[in-house]
Amino acid sequence: MDFTYSEENLMIQEVAREFSQKKLAPRAIEFDESGELDRDLISEMGQLGLLGIFVPEEYGGSGLDHLCYVIAMEEIAAGCSSHASVVGLSNSLFAYPLLNFGTEEQKKTYLPSICSGEKLGAYSLSEAGSGTDAASLTCFAEDKGDHYLVNGTKLWVTDGSIADWLIVFVRTDKDAGAKGITALMVDAQFEGFTVGKNEKKMGFKASPTNEISFANVKVPSANVIGEVNRGFNIAMETLNSGRVSVAAQALGMARRAYEIALQYSQERKQFGKPLSAFQLTQAKLADMATKLHAARLMIHHAAWKKDRGERVIKEASMAKLFATEAATSVAHMAMQILGGYGYTAEYEVERIYRDVRVTEIFEGTSEIQRIVIAREELKDR
């Protein structure tokens, strides 16, 4: 693996960093308090090519690679985690399954508007009784010939209340388990489609999370993504790709917490000298910097392998497991360095501490990552 950034890597990093530092970071606390995303900024991210980084240019994307994507994701997340979630949804959870399993017509219909930020997409897999055990979902789609009649409820749909289109995983064979699930493209304007309240969450407060209900929703058969009853494979392949994205998002948030703590430690004086002069503070800074560096290397390695067309199930899980747990640890140490100030809303560390915690949960918990890694390790022996 070449550790030298390419011209494209440097270009997307500069674009994402400038936008993040000028447009997102100064308002991150505002977004957290208001609980709302800025649609103008989302459109601007689209204009900058950040919402379709690895989407081919023919579908409105930037035509770059996955390494460019994780580099950009780190920068955006360092500014605002909630707006970074839009980048993740558009690229990893919406564009990725369409690019790999959708028809040519579906790609041309949905991707350009998603990449531009004109439309927003969402991904819906979880239900009340099927979170980690995704294969047990019960939301049912009955085949009516030219359409499917969908009934049921989905939970934890990120950006569900503002999404125009949703990739929804439904059961199409009640007796087939994982082999009876199908992916459907659902328009939020379909009759019978209802969005529940925004969930009150610990973090990611500007990014709405919703319950979605289907009451005899008619979805055209042409909206099936991939093959009927093969949707579980699409869901798992999408999440596997998305794990690297979540890892990069956690890395960006943790890096920002570290930067704040580093600066504070040099400015804050106790007992006549800056905090950074004390060995205990230095130890924390050293641990934080090491965790960030290791996480970045793991993320970039997984993205690099993916760009080479190699199998990355283990590497993606390792990157997500290590980066998200490292990020939680870094945010914790940053708060310790800032002390009481770190616990107040005036400083970003308090928000980052709340936001970063969920990265160990969504798109596969840390426990699931350990199972996947162990399974892959044992398979190779």
pLDDT band at 363, cuts 50/70/90? confident
95, 138 Cβ separation under 8 angstroms: no
Q: Tell me, what CATH number does 361's domain have?
A: 1.20.140.10
pLDDT over 70 for what percent of the chain? 99
What are 362's two structure tokens?
């969504």
Residue 1 confidence (pLDDT) above 80: no
Q: Report if residue 127 sits inside a domain.
A: yes
| pLDDT tens, position by position, 325-353 | 999 999 999 999 999 999 998 889 999 99
Q: What is the pLDDT of residues 20-38, one digit of tens each?
A: 999 999 999 999 999 999 9
Q: Within a domain: residue 113?
A: yes
Q: Would you say residue 258 has pLDDT above 70? A: yes
363 is catalytic: yes
Q: Please give the DSSP secondary-structure letter assigned to residue 325.
A: H
Are 99 and 178 contained in the same domain?
no
* 263 lies in the same domain as 363: yes
Pick from 159, 185, 155, 181: which is nearest to 170 by CA? 181
For the whole model, what pTM was predicted?
Answer: 0.95
CA distance 379 to 106: 36
Q: Which among 328, 348, 325, 327 is positioned nearest to 338, based on CA atoms?
A: 348
More confident residue, 16 or 128: 16
pLDDT tens-place string over residues 172-193: 999 999 999 999 999 999 999 9
Confidence of residue 381 (pLDDT cuts 50, 70, 90): low
Query: What are the tens digits of pLDDT across the range 89-117?
Result: 999 999 999 999 999 999 999 999 999 99
What residues make up the domain containing 174?
122-229
Residue 50 lies in a domain: yes
Q: Do residues 141 and 202 both lie within one domain?
A: yes
Catalytic residue among 75, 363, 367, 376, which?
363
Total domains in the fold of the chain: 3
CA atoms of 112 and 134, how far apart (whole Å): 30
